[in-house]
Chains A and B, each alone.
Chain A
């Protein structure tokens, strides 16, 4: 079964600085998708960014970028110019035939 690992239970970042949230995954498949979601305290799940296993370029969406290192099986999320509203739980997920999530990282942005 696929497995997603997020090793940082909590992270702090100063407002306007960049932060990297780590994610590693384990799969024997060649074809898969990697996703990051944000969950504010309200509980809703907000899709942030997607990276396909065959994509050669790292995905970017506004202030979010995904640092994809296929050989190392890592898919780290980089948030540039952090804002107070970025404080939330962040989940890495992988999709093969279903979707599995990591345990999450709680990001706190300090003013």
Chain B
């Protein structure tokens, strides 16, 4: 079955540690996205990539980094520079073009203490 996988579902880290969230898709989509969602809030765009080896900052990129070495994979690293990293992180992918919806992974809930 085609889809998007994010692992792990729950992640716990100590403050000051970098952590990498995984996102893999087998939908053959060109575009991939990372969003952050805080409790009761909407989705805020962190980074997106329209093509391999290229990515752009979203609205809240500070303290995060990404790579896009393969079409299928778009990992997100939450660095120690991110002041409030505890949140729900959603990865999405889509075909390029305004008429294509995004497909979402199940999300990773990150807790940093």
Residues in chain A within 8 A of chain B (CB atoms): 1, 6, 31-33, 35, 43-45, 47, 50, 52-53, 91, 95-104, 106
Is the CB–CB distance between B106 and A43 below 8 Å? yes
What secondary structure prevails in chain A residues at the interface with B? loop
Q: For A104, list chain B residues within 8 Å (CB).
A: 41-42
Q: How far does the alpha carbon of A91 sit from the alpha carbon of B104 in the complex, in Å?
A: 13
**How many residues on B have C-beta within 8 angstroms of the other chain's C-beta atoms?**
27
| Closest 7 pairs between A and B when the two form their complex, measured CB to CB | A45-B104, A33-B98, A103-B42, A101-B43, A47-B101, A101-B42, A104-B42
Question: B33-57: contact bitstring with A at CB < 8 Å (1 yes, 0 no)?
Answer: 1010000111111001010000010
Q: How far does the alpha carbon of A50 sit from the alpha carbon of B45 in the complex, in Å?
A: 20
Question: B81-100: contact bitstring with A at CB < 8 Å (1 yes, 0 no)?
Answer: 00000001010101000111
Q: For B8, list chain A residues within 8 Å (CB).
A: none
Q: How far does the alpha carbon of A74 sit from the alpha carbon of B33 in the complex, in Å?
A: 25
Closest Cβ neighbor of A98 among chain B residues: B48
Is the CB–CB distance between B45 and A43 below 8 Å? no
Q: How far does the alpha carbon of A32 sit from the alpha carbon of B99 in the complex, in Å?
A: 8
Q: For A50, list chain B residues within 8 Å (CB).
A: 99, 101
